[in-house]
């Protein structure tokens, strides 16, 4: 058996849904070991009391930002709400400590100094950067749906998104209240959503996006309407997507439109449908992914794996 020198990893903001998923993935990882998991609400409680997959004596803690650099982590994941990451990053910079930092918030997705880690589309842009910005869940689905046809676009793509309420986080709101969501579909941020700006920025084309929250807990679907500059056959569209993703273990191209109910707890994205208009100048593409996994924790681990020099899918179940 090959001996693996494990890297120590810390999670800041580990109480949230994504933090829990990360702990599960790390618990099965041969090259990572949890150094700390921070949560003010769970401070002092055992991690294994909240995440059954974890085996160990580690307890949640609540270190001040200034204390984070002294905790000895080789890798730090910031699983914090938007607007909270900068102080943590500043603490490491001021202490002269340089761990690999992966930010799951939107705080650095528009910062050219950070590597934007959507591996299937940006893998070749990684050149050993120690600061990685993890894409948003909706933005991941939108970009994967549009990128293979970007050179054929005649107009901005229009994306209709529906997510489970886990995407609204753990802080109580209308968007994660099961009673208000029951038998309901809740629209919000119908123009100017942050993921609309993110997808537009990184694709280099404007994208229109209309998000909604549904009563299910996890998984999202994005239906994208793409207007094409010339008549295109469905087979050409399908070939473009297969050429882009057939070698990707965490993107599956399927013929029929995928269902969100089939993606929960799965680590890949599914893209399909490819419904063509009669004139061949419009195609509708459907993408699904688990917003907590490929939309967050799994994608973060893809980026971490590459940065620590192991196979990109290490500890990620690929089915």
- 101 forms bridges with which residues in the sheet? 76, 131
Task: Report domain extents, the chain.
Answer: 7-135+295-308, 137-291
Which of 79, 137, 220, 276 does the annotation list as catalytic? 137
User: Is 137 labeled as catalytic in the residue annotation?
Assistant: yes
Structure tokens at 145: 């749906």
The predicted structure's pLDDT at residue 294: 98
Give the CA count within 13 Å in the CB-facing half-sphere of 280.
Answer: 8
Determine the topology of domain 7-135+295-308 in CATH: Rossmann fold (3.40.50)
CA distances from 42 to 25, 107, 130, 187 (A): 20, 24, 29, 32
* Selection from 122, 94, 89 nearest residue 104 by Cα: 89
Domain 137-291 in CATH 3.30.360.10: yes
Walk along the chain (319 residues) and give the pLDDT tens digit of each residue.
355 689 999 999 988 899 999 999 999 999 999 999 999 999 999 999 999 999 999 999 999 999 999 999 999 999 998 999 999 999 999 999 999 999 999 999 999 999 999 999 999 999 999 999 999 999 999 999 999 999 999 999 999 999 999 987 777 888 889 889 999 999 999 999 999 999 999 999 999 999 999 999 999 999 999 999 999 999 999 999 999 999 999 999 999 999 999 999 999 999 999 999 999 999 999 999 999 999 999 999 999 999 999 999 999 998 7
Distant-in-sequence, close-in-space partners of 65: CB < 8 Å, separation ≥ 6: 87, 88, 90, 91
How far, in Å, CA of 162 to CA of 178, rounded?
Answer: 15
Q: How far apart are CA 268 and CA 295, in angstroms?
A: 9
CA angle 270, 271, 272 (to 5 degrees): 125
**pLDDT of 5:** 84
In this prediction, residue 3 carries a pLDDT of 56
């Amino acid at each position: 058996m090959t001996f693996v020198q494990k890297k120590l990893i810390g999670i800041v903001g580990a109480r949230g849904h994504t933090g829990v998923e990360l702990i599960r993935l790390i618990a099965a990882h041969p090259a990572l070991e949890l150094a700390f998991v921070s949560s003010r609400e769970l401070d002092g409680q055992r991690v294994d009391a909240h995440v059954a997959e974890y085996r160990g004596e580690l307890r949640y803690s609540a270190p001040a930002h200034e204390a984070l650099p002294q905790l000895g982590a080789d890798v730090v994941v910031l699983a914090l709400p938007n607007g909270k990451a900068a102080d943590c990053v500043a603490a490491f910079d001021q202490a002269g400590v340089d761990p690999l930092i992966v930010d799951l918030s939107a705080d650095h997705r528009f910062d050219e100094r950070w590597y934007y880690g959507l591996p299937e589309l940006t893998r070749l842009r990684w050149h050993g950067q120690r600061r990685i910005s993890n894409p948003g869940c909706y933005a991941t689905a939108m970009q994967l749906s549009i990128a293979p046809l970007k050179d054929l676009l005649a107009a901005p793509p229009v994306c209709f998104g529906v997510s489970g309420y886990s995407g609204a986080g753990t802080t109580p709101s209308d968007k994660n209240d099961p009673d208000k969501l029951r038998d309901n579909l809740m629209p919000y941020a119908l123009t100017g959503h942050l993921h609309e700006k993110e997808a537009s920025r990184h694709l280099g084309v404007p994208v229109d996006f209309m998000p909604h929250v549904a009563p299910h807990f996890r998984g999202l679907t994005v239906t994208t309407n793409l207007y094409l500059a010339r008549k295109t056959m469905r087979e050409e569209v399908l070939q473009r997507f297969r050429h882009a993703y057939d070698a990707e273990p965490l993107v599956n191209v399927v013929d029929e439109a995928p269902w969100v109910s089939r993606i929960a707890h799965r680590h890949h994205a599914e893209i399909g449908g490819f419904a063509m208009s009669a004139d061949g100048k419009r195609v509708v593409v459907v993408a699904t992914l688990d917003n907590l996994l490929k939309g967050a924790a799994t994608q973060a681990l893809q980026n971490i794996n590459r940065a620590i020099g192991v196979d990109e899918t290490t500890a990620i179940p690929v089915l």
